[in-house]
Structure formats: C-alpha cells, structure tokens
C-alpha cells in the first residue's frame, strides 16, 4: 500500500494538484475578465505589490492589528504549515533519492518543535471558530474537516518518527492524508494559498490604482 501511495498515487496527486490550480486560476481569470473588466482599467503593479506585502507582514494591515492574537496564531500556522513539509530532513532525503535534488533542511529537533506549534495553532483556530459567534456563524462542518485533515499528516509523521504506534500504518496514513490535502487544495477554500495573491493584488488595483486609497 505504501509503495503505491509513494509511487503512482503521488504522481496522480501532483497532476491533480497542479492541473487543478491551473484550471481554477484560468476559470477565475476568464470570469473576472467578463464580470469585472473594470479592474483591468486600473491595474497598478505598484499598488498590487503593496497590498500583497502588507498582508504578508505580521500586523501589516489595520484589520490584523485589531486582532493581534488571531493574526499571530494565523501567521504561526501558515509558516509552520509550509516550512515543515518543505524543509523536513526526511522529506529532503526522499527528494534527493527520487530526483537528485533537495532543499535546505531543518534540524530534526526544530521540525519537531514546529510540528507541535502547528498543532497548537490548529487547536486555537478550532476553539476560535467555536467560541467567537461572528466566526461560528460562518463556519461549516467542512471547515472542521479541513482543519482535521491538515493536522493528520503532521500527527502521523510525528508519531512515526518517534516510533509511537504501528509504524507502517502511521506512514500509510501520513502519505495518504497528505495526498488528500493536495488533491483538495484546488477545489476547496484551501486554494487561498494561491488565490490570496490574486485577491490582494486586485483589491490593490481597485482601492489604490483607482481610488488612491490604501487597502491596509
């Protein structure tokens, strides 16, 4: 099972992931040209980049400064979510064995710490959705499912690395849940990992290029 998941299933996952993102971005671009053509009359690379940059910086926008704790936890969540899979030493060994290339690797102890921090941030986000009425009313069951699925590759990978539980089963669940997440990204809210940049740029075009007003 693991051999299949790490072989044909992984290639299929990458094809769906990249292909799905390309199709979705293309669809949204065509839709925006049709429905919101006015945006393209005010394209300003300068305002678009400013808008993106300020929303990438911790507390770089007024709305983030109004929710400092949530903003901090959201940044921690996204940083660890990207850094651990990309720079985990075990993953880089696999990249090197498969394609003869790898990225800089994090020390294993740091990867462990970042994994724990990620899981704490996910718990925080779940609790926030439950206790904050303005967030709870917008939350669907699927939002909790996505957060749970996001946590699973990290939980199973952490347990497998520390030899806690059935190693083979944990590795199968680790790869399987990671692939499920990648497959879901183009078709769910998780696509904001790419669409965020387009959204913030377009808001920058509208507010800055057209009205001369900051979006942050």
* pLDDT(207) > 90: no
Range 4-31 average pLDDT = 92
Apex CA 122: angle with CA 182 and CA 157, to 5°? 55
pTM (2 d.p.): 0.86
pLDDT value for 19: 96
Q: What is the mean pLDDT of the chain?
A: 89
pLDDT at 209: 60
In which band, very low, low, confident or very high, does the pLDDT at 103 lie, cut at 50, 70 and 90? confident
Per-residue pLDDT tens for 123-134?
999 999 999 998
Q: Is residue 11 part of a domain?
A: yes
Report the CATH number that the domain containing residue 145 is assigned in CATH.
1.20.950
Q: For the chain, state the CA radius of gyration.
A: 20
Place of tokens 């724990």: 116
Task: Give domain status of residue 215, yes or no.
Answer: no
- Report residue 140's pLDDT band, with 50, 70 and 90 as the boundaries: very high
Which domain does 39 fall in, by range? Answer: 2-210
**CA gap 205, 74 in Å, rounded:** 25
Nearest residue to 154 (alpha-carbon basis) of 114, 198, 214, 211 = 114
Is 166 part of any domain?
Answer: yes
Among 61, 88, 87, residue whose Cα is nearest residue 75:
61
216, part of any domain? no
Q: Is residue 30 part of a domain?
A: yes
Q: What is the pLDDT of residue 213?
A: 67
- In percent, the amount of the chain with pLDDT more than 90 equals 59
Residue 137 lies inside a defined structural domain of this protein: yes
118 lies in a domain? yes
Within a domain: residue 90?
Answer: yes
Q: Summarize the confidence of residues 141-163 as an average pLDDT.
A: 95
| Domain count along the chain | 1
């Amino acid at each position: 099972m693991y051999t299949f998941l790490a072989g044909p299933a992984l290639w299929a996952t990458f094809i769906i992931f990249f292909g799905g993102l390309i199709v979705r971005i293309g669809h949204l671009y065509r839709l925006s040209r049709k429905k919101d053509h006015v945006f393209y009359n005010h394209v300003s690379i300068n305002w678009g980049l400013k808008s993106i940059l300020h929303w990438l910086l911790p507390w770089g926008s007024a709305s983030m400064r109004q929710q400092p704790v949530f903003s901090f936890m959201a940044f921690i969540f996204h940083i660890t979510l990207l850094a651990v899979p990309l720079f985990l030493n075990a993953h880089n060994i696999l990249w090197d064995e498969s394609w003869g290339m790898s990225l800089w690797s994090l020390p294993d102890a740091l990867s462990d710490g970042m994994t724990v921090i990620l899981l704490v941030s996910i718990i925080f986000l779940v609790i926030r959705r439950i206790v904050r009425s303005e967030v709870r009313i917008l939350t669907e069951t699927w939002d909790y499912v996505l957060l749970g699925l996001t946590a699973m590759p990290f939980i199973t990978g952490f347990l497998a690395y520390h030899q806690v539980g059935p190693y083979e089963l944990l590795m199968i669940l680790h790869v399987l849940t990671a692939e499920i997440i990648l497959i879901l990204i183009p078709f769910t809210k998780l696509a904001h990992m790419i669409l965020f940049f387009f959204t913030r740029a377009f808001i920058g075009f509208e507010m800055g290029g057209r009205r001369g007003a900051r979006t942050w």
